[in-house]
Chains A and B, each alone.
Chain A
Amino acid sequence: MNDNRPKNHLTWCRRALRVSLQLRIVLILALLVIVIAAAGGSLYFGASREWLIQSDRQHAMGLASMLASGLRLKAVQQDRAELQRLLIACVEQEHIPYAAVLDLDGNVLIEASSGHDQAISTELKSLPVSLTSIDAQGQDTLAVAQPILITDDGERRLAGALRLVIDTSKSAERLAMVQQQVIFIASVVVLLAVPVGYLLVWRVLVQRLKRLVAVTRQLGRGDFAARARMKKNDEIGELACSFDTMAGEVARMQDELVQANQQLENKVIARTTELELSNRRIREEMSEKEDFLRAVSHDLNAPLRNIAGMATMLTTKWGDQLPEEVVERLQRIQTNVDAGESLIGELLELSRVRTRPEVRQLVDMRELIEQVGQTLEYELKARDIQLKIGLEMPRLYVGPNRLRQVFQNLIDNAVKYMHRDSGGRIEVSYRFSDDQHVFSVSDNGRGIAPDKQEQIFYVFRRIQDAATAEVDGKGVGLALVKAVVANYDGRAWVESQVGRGSTFYVSLSVDATQPPEQGADEPREEYNVEAVSHIAG
């Protein structure tokens, strides 16, 4: 839990910094305004203070020169009392705390002050007496020295000097007050401007952006009719316009998609119907074929039965009265009828492999083959043939009876064509290759010539030669094997060498021998009941 907290803290910071666009713009603008105002303000204030100082000085100078020229006459007349009176009148003014007249040597002749400290006179004393007006800037004061000139015989002559001290503090105060007022007003204006600016930014920028965002979200949620609908008179308007165009495109593509989907669905429905129809047709054909086969087998077997029955009856009733040859011939009739009947039976089975699918189950192949071996045990022992079954065999989802027939036929064939009195060996083994389960039955019998190796899988084709003449069997066995494995997408083939033996292979595809998924539809394996009652009734 502890390592979550720093992350939360970080996201909180990030979230706090993620202020809205509006606020950001307003803050930036306000900041700009304040910076500009501050810069401008301080410049202005500095300049105005300079101006004030200059103005004060000029004013002081002007005053001093006017005073000096006014005093000139009195100085010439050496009228001290008048001079004194004039000076006193000067210092009575609020902003002139000190006035003095000096002689040529710089000694104070007359002075008047409105009671300020001696610091003033120190400043003044430092000012030399000269023909030019001089000033000295103090803390709150301005000291001005003005020469008093008299015209004597057409010559201008320095008679003395006037010293004035101007109190600048008041004007500085006034300036400061004005500055404060200006700052106050400016602050108020800025403060008022912030909400106004806020509102303006909202109206001009953010409101429309927010609306655009809302419309975008609407479109994202699937409302393809969402449009911004703004006038196109600036960049945001253009954005809104192109958004509307895009939304129109999206809506159109959506419509096309829906339409295409609908068309596809219609096609699928049509195809499915077609498929169902053809499926039904196939099923009907299969059941018709099944009906036909049953009828055929029934009707073919009837006369054969009668033939056998008649022959038997003859031998039973009159056997002792008939010549031996006749009885023997009658027995041969019986044998032939048996052969015919079992051939019909095998043909029927062969035809049914396709039309009558067997109910499937999970079968242990080794067990199945062992069972076949057991049924042939007597034959194997009698002919001294050793049967070996491989250990590693799979469990497959197959019809057990048909596969039992397959291995029965293969092993039976191996036994029949062994053609040796002893030392016969039959080996049944398994391997997995290429998505196929491959079983093999190999023997050390007489082998099969290459030109016969393919035809033996066809019905009735056995190897016609003297050696096989004594072998019974009708030639349907391998055809059945081939038909059964075809049901599992497999093949049957042989590898053989005359004199060395043969190996018969059957393959079953992995896909066709997989148990079905849970809940998947099982193919209908039951026999067609309607077909039976149609024949039986």
Chain B
Amino acid sequence: MSQEKSTMLKPLAILLVDDDSDWRMLLREALLAELGEVEVSEAASGAEALKFLVASGSTRPDLICLDIQMPGMGGLDLLRSIKSCRALRSIPMVVVTGHDDVLSRDAAIRNGASGYASKSATPKDLVTKVLGPLICPNR
């Protein structure tokens, strides 16, 4: 499954936003392993993420995967900022976080997240069960 060439015009682009570099690496590995040709970009904070998005110009990522608890601009603020920007608000955003309770979930959804997942799942499960279906519904 993971080695098939995608039929899309350009390879899938995913932006990972998390201050934990080890976790980013694990998620990147899982994405590459499960989804094949994907372009994975990383940002270590909300500010970096916004900078990247602005600089990316016309090549917007197809999915943004973000954590809630980050230094500086936190995940919820990032969600709000992106949703308030007309050019960016159409990008689906999934919150992947160590917090796993109803209130955090509600807050994320309220601020515009399309999905919410807990880090207690393995990176592989996250990709196959959550991120994959969101980004490639036909897979």
Interface residues of A (CB under 8 A from B): 294, 298, 301-303, 305-306, 308-310, 312-313, 316-317, 341, 527, 529, 532-533, 535-537
Contact = CB atoms under 8 A, between A and B. Distances in A.
B122 interface: yes
A310 B22 contact: yes
B104 interface: yes
Contacts of B104: 532, 536
A298 B69 CA distance: 9
Given A298-B98, A301-B98, A533 B107 contact: yes
A317 B29 contact: yes
A309 B77 contact: no
B26 A529 contact: no
Given A308-B122, A536-B104, 18 more contacts: A294-B99, A303-B22, A305-B98, A305-B120, A306-B26, A309-B22, A309-B26, A309-B122, A313-B123, A316-B124, A317-B33, A532-B103, A532-B104, A532-B107, A536-B74, A536-B99, A536-B103, A537-B77
Given A309-B122, A316-B33, A536-B76, A302 B99 contact: no
Select the residue from A301, A313, A529, A533 with max chain B CB neighbours within 10 A.
A313
B103 A529 contact: yes
Contacts of A303: 22
B68 interface: yes
B91 to A, nearest CB: 22
Contact of A309 (B98, B107, B123): B123
Contacts of A313: 26, 29-30, 123
A298 B107 contact: no
Select the residue from A309, A316, A341, A532 with max chain B CB neighbours within 10 A.
A309
B20 interface: yes
Determine the main DSSP class of A at the interface with B. Answer: helix
A81 to B, nearest CB: 164
Interface in B1-60: 20, 22-23, 26, 29-30, 33
Interface of B: 20, 22-23, 26, 29-30, 33, 68-69, 74, 76-77, 98-99, 101, 103-104, 107, 119-120, 122-124
B35 to A, nearest CB: 15
Contacts of B77: 537
B122 to A, nearest CB: 7
Given A306-B26, A317-B29, A535-B69, A312 B20 contact: no
A254 B114 CA distance: 73
12 contacts: A294-B99, A301-B119, A302-B20, A306-B23, A309-B122, A309-B123, A312-B124, A527-B103, A529-B103, A533-B107, A536-B107, A537-B77
Contacts of B107: 532-533, 536-537
A302 B74 CA distance: 17
Nearest to A305: B119
Contacts of A308: 122
A530 to B, nearest CB: 11
Nearest to B68: A536
Nearest to B74: A537
Contacts of A529: 103
The 9 closest A-B pairs by CB, nearest first: A306-B22, A309-B26, A532-B103, A298-B98, A536-B104, A536-B107, A537-B76, A313-B29, A305-B119
Nearest to A297: B98
Contact of B98 (A302, A310, A316): A302
Contacts of B98: 298, 301-302, 305
Contacts of B26: 306, 309-310, 313
Contacts of B101: 532
B124 to A, nearest CB: 8
A536 B99 CA distance: 8
A79 B122 CA distance: 186
Contacts of B29: 313, 317
B23 A302 contact: yes
A292 to B, nearest CB: 14
A312 B68 CA distance: 25
Contacts of B122: 308-309, 312
Nearest to B104: A536
Nearest to A531: B103
A298 B123 CA distance: 17
A298 to B, nearest CB: 5
A317 B29 CA distance: 9
B42 to A, nearest CB: 15
A306 B29 CA distance: 13
Nearest to B98: A298
Nearest to A313: B29
Contacts of B76: 536-537
B29 to A, nearest CB: 5
A309 B123 CA distance: 7
A535 B99 contact: yes
A502 to B, nearest CB: 34
A85 to B, nearest CB: 159
B14 to A, nearest CB: 18
Contact of A305 (B23, B30, B74, B124): B23
A525 to B, nearest CB: 15
A381 to B, nearest CB: 29
A301 B122 CA distance: 13
Contacts of A536: 68-69, 74, 76, 99, 103-104, 107
Contacts of B119: 301-302, 305
A337 to B, nearest CB: 11
A359 to B, nearest CB: 13
B74 A298 contact: no
A303 B76 CA distance: 23
